[in-house]
Amino acid sequence: MMMKIDFQSIKNVRKNPLGILISTGSSWLIKPFLMFGLATLFFKVIFQSFIPAGLAQDFVTGAVLLGVAPCTAMVFVWSHLTKGDPAHTLVQVSVNDLLILVLFVPLVQLLLGVNGVTIPWDTLFFSIVLFVVVPLAGGALTRFLMIKKKGIEYFNEKFLPKFNGITTLGLLLTLIIIFSFQGDIILEQPLYVLLIAVPLILRLYGGSTD
């Protein structure tokens, strides 16, 4: 997925500025705060009879971390599945990947600080480097070298399609691994799973672009 990102495409923002402003504003000005508000409302107020206070705080923390981070891979996948405009998707993902480098850490610290939770700055910066900077740099370097060697037509029509199946498989495998590690909790506490799903679904339909 990171190989598809072309930062030169950002210059095309002016071709559809309103669409980019709406989706970017939704991702960074609405979604994180909406997720925090919904999680706090449901976990600490509406569901307080079902969720212990300490666990509710943990759930809010997890919701904040989820809500602040736009998923590059899933934006590409959903755009492909819905037959969206690939040029717009490319610009949007490129803009988001630049913004996450500078906005993720301060937004997380702000929202978790309101929730009374502190995560060391170096831990957050390390997560950005490990999960965003490294794969982004790897994708950009591969893209640059392949285009330089074979040309943009070969890269788009021959090289990238080789990874389509791997990308889908990788996303599915990630989900399987996540759920398998939490399998015991899911089976032992199915009510928590249902309660957690409520604000996540509402956020999905209320202000999500991923």
Distance CA 22, CA 37 (A): 20
Helix (H, G, I), strand (E, B) or coil at 102: helix
> What's the confidence (pLDDT) of residue 197?
92
For residue 54, give its domain range: 2-207
Query: What's the gap between Cα 185 and its chain centre?
Result: 24
Distance CA 189, CA 68 (A): 26
Distance CA 163, CA 4 (A): 11
> What's the confidence (pLDDT) of residue 73?
67
Nearest to 89 by CA among 167, 16, 198: 16
> What's the confidence (pLDDT) of residue 169?
83
DSSP per-residue codes, 116-178: T----HHHHHHHHIIIIIHHHHHHHHHHHHHHHHH-HHHIIIIIGGGGHHHHHHHHHHHHHHH
**Tens-digit pLDDT string for the chain (210 aa):** 788 887 777 777 777 788 788 888 888 888 899 999 999 999 999 999 999 999 999 999 999 998 888 777 677 777 777 777 777 777 888 888 888 989 999 999 999 998 888 889 999 999 999 988 998 899 899 999 999 999 999 998 999 888 877 877 887 888 888 888 878 878 888 899 899 999 988 887 765 545
What separation in angstroms does the CA of 33 have from each of 30, 42, 87, 200?
6, 14, 28, 13
What's the total number of domains in the chain? Answer: 1
pTM as predicted: 0.78
> What's the confidence (pLDDT) of residue 206?
60
